[in-house]
């Protein structure tokens, strides 16, 4: 079985299809609400009427209303704005880790990205792919055609997470690349200096972009299921450390909770959506719950 088929196997397609059925109305509002803006014109969706005032374009007068009421009303319209999306995928070696789950963090991110790509394409919104480690490595131009999900999966399926990462530098490069306000979806385990990463995320946000940060950790990194003496290895520097898991667990769990909470707090203050996930969570449920929470806030 090819790697592309692995991500398109029946159970993944079923999950994506189920997500589409459960969240379609939420996603529609979620995507259209990001950049909806008032727009005068006839090629866009009709919104409502308002009374004619001097300075309005007479061509916008609704003559049917005038015939019925003998009053001038203007048709108001709202743009059906297409949102350009970018899936920004961390390729660092730590993303290839799994302790006992079927999916590595990278595999999990690919499934999430496939679902989001699928949903955006179904809204006729163009979506592209950016991959990065110490800098941007690959760039797939945004498209809204149905085959784009295959294009994105094909590229990701041929990549292996390896080497070190510089998330802040890569996101800074992405911010400089974007010529129009876009929806940027970042997938990373964020194993880097939070201050530099948050500064880069704020730069993306201040550029007028909508930013969603999917923080993906392995189930073992979140719950620390180890006992006795364990040999831990830092995946990018390969530094090894032997610890007594039972005495180390409490401090570790406190530290990881504080780490995630700092991202949650700072992202909230900057208007960035922060979505904390671990690889034991069914990705369709996790994404649907996020979309519902976003919709309820909007």
Mean pLDDT of the chain: 81
Q: What is the pLDDT of residue 138?
A: 94
What pLDDT sits at residue 8? 57
- What pLDDT score was predicted for residue 90? 97
pLDDT, residue 205, reads 94
Whole-structure pTM value: 0.77
Q: Is the pLDDT of residue 62 over 80?
A: no
Residues 6 or more apart in contact with residue 198 via CB below 8 angstroms: 263, 266, 267, 270
* Three-point CA angle 262, 288, 191, nearest 5°: 30
Residue 18's pLDDT band (cuts 50, 70, 90): low
> Per mean pLDDT, which range of 36-45, 93-102, 188-197, 275-284 is the poorest?
36-45
pLDDT at 156 over 60: yes
Least confident of 41-45, 198-202, 243-247, 269-273: 41-45
Q: What is the pLDDT of residues 31-60, one digit of tens each?
A: 555 544 433 333 334 456 677 777 777 777
pLDDT at 110 over 60: yes
Q: Where are the domains of the chain?
A: 3-34+83-297, 37-78
CATH number of 3-34+83-297: 3.40.50.410
């Amino acid at each position: 079985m090819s790697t592309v088929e692995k991500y398109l196997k029946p159970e993944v397609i079923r999950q994506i299809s189920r997500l589409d059925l459960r969240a379609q109305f939420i996603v529609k509002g979620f995507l259209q609400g990001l950049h909806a803006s008032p727009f005068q014109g006839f090629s866009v969706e009709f919104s409502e009427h308002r009374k004619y005032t001097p300075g309005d374009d007479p061509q916008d007068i609704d003559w049917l209303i005038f015939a019925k009421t003998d009053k001038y009303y203007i048709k108001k319209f709202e743009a059906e704005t297409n949102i350009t999306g970018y899936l920004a995928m961390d390729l660092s070696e730590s993303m290839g880790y799994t302790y006992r789950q079927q999916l590595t963090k990278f595999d999990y991110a690919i499934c999430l990205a496939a679902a989001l790509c699928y949903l955006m394409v179904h809204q006729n919104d163009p979506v592209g792919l950016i991959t990065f480690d110490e800098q941007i490595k690959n760039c797939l131009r945004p498209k809204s055609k149905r085959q784009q999900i295959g294009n994105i999966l094909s590229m990701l399926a041929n990549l292996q997470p390896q080497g070190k990462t510089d998330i802040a530098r890569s996101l800074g490069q992405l911010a400089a690349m974007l010529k129009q306000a876009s929806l940027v979806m970042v997938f990373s385990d964020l194993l880097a200096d939070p201050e530099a990463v948050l500064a880069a995320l704020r730069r993306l946000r201040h550029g007028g972009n909508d930013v969603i940060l999917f923080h993906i950790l392995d189930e073992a990194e979140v719950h620390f299921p180890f006992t006795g003496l364990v040999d831990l290895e830092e995946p990018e520097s390969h530094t090894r450390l032997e610890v007594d898991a039972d005495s180390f667990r409490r401090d570790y769990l406190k530290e990881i909770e504080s780490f995630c909470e700092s991202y949650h707090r700072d992202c909230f203050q900057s208007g960035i959506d922060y979505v904390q996930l671990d690889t034991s969570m069914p990705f369709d449920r996790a994404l649907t719950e996020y979309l519902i929470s976003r919709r309820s806030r909007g």
